[in-house]
Amino acid sequence: MTSSDRGPAAESGFVPRTRLEGTAGRTGTIHTPHGPIHTPAFIPVGTKATVKTVLPEQVAALGAQAVLANAYHLYLQPGPEIVDQAGGLARFMNWDGPTYTDSGGFQVMSLGAGFKKVISMDVTGQQDDTKIAEGKERLANVDDDGVTFKSHLDGSRHRFTPEVSMNIQHQLGADIIFAFDELTTLMNTRGYQESSLERTRQWAVRCLAEHNRLSQVRSHRPQQALWGVVQGAQYEDLRRKATRDLVELDRIDRESGGKGFGGYGIGGALEKANLGTIVGWVTDELPDAAPRHLLGISEPNDIFTAIENGADTFDCVSPTRVARNGAIYSFDGRYNITNAKYRNDFGPLDAELDNYSTQYTRAYLHHLFKAKEGLAATLATLHNLSFTVTLVDRARAAIEAGRYAEYRDEFLARYYAGSAAAG
């Protein structure tokens, strides 16, 4: 059975366009109250209502179509009521375009795992539900009703439930919001993954109910689309079950007069080697008219794999985070601008990429990092965002032109050969 045979199309505002032959990939458009998102698309992360070190206007100028902020961080500071009073996230941060907010589930999980910033994409060691980061304190505890956690800012205690997450995200006012879910790690046992999946399903039911209620109460605000989140780690049966469960919840909710899910997020820790397979399990079970967002990937080879397996949008902090440490993406590979060989290199960061940073040389950026000047992070961040957005934009254009495979193969061969040469 094909995805288009799985019942009525979701009222997601998504219109598929061009199919990538022989794969689940496609182009399309997500329509939001703040404008369209042409897919596939990379969504830069503005965790605290800002993409670190750069202006929103600069992010828009380099071609980014939307930004994603974090409900957990904005709940703690400045507080969702402040953002609501400002007129919502887009107006608060002076961003003239669509916005996403995640539910806070990732941050809650990372607190529970000892506040690790990145989830491993490889399984190493014995699976253990009690394992946390070495030398760290578990700051979050999950129960069937929600999560109690300590703020990483001041140690104060807080509680998130599905209803709390929905209220926070409605106050933040993003166009696309995500259901509150429990994010597991690859270290969790199969038994825990199963119980967590059922917990996340029950939370999704509560998120839908509260989203429907708030959409009526807050009808004076632009309507928001709630996306369900698929978990299940590396297990095919759990991923497929989780997806089917969410699609069924969407059907039941719509038949009872609710808004249903406007799309779906693919979450959780993924083994890098199985990324495409796992994404494919999920998209294979989803209605064709439902947009899919893959949470937290940005490596070039992972982006191509995600596109080919049906992901429409994806986000990651990596391009901006590594930029602040001097790592530069280029079509001839990734390199570190702080290396001595760039001290008197007066070429551009990437001769092929046209963005604001093009007018600055490698030697100048090397100097800024060595001098610990703030402009270093700004220019490197703008460049890396431009690179990642352009990479995905060109992939979208290649699908439309019928030359995607050639573009992918040429890009990857050149990029990874250059990265290897740069060491």
- 102 catalytic per annotation: yes
For residue 224, the surrounding DSSP H or E stretch is none
3-state secondary structure of 268: coil
Per-residue tokens: 154 = 């001041």
Rounded to 5 degrees, φ, ψ at 225 are -105, 125
Q: 32 near 225, Cβ under 8 Å?
A: yes
| Of 30, 311, 284, residue with least CA distance to 174 | 30
- Catalytic member of 253, 312, 315, 350: 315
CA distance linking residue 377 with residue 365, whole number of Å: 9
- Catalytic member of 102, 250, 253, 288: 102
- What is the β-pairing status of strands 263-266 and 225-230? parallel
Whether the bond into 40 is cis, omega within 30 of 0: yes
CA distance linking residue 71 with residue 160, whole number of Å: 11
Cβ contacts of residue 220 below 8 Å, gap of 6+?
Answer: none
3-state secondary structure of 27: strand
CA distance linking residue 71 with residue 65, whole number of Å: 20
Per-residue tokens: 5 = 């045979």
Cβ contacts of residue 118 below 8 Å, gap of 6+?
Answer: none
CA distance linking residue 208 with residue 105, whole number of Å: 16
- 315 catalytic per annotation: yes
CA distance linking residue 268 with residue 106, whole number of Å: 8
Burial of 85 (0-12, 13-18, 19+ CB in 10 A): exposed
CA distance linking residue 260 with residue 263, whole number of Å: 9
Residue 4 DSSP symbol: G
Q: 156 near 139, Cβ under 8 Å?
A: no
Around Cβ 232, how many Cβ atoms within 10 Å? 25
- Residues labelled catalytic: 102, 315
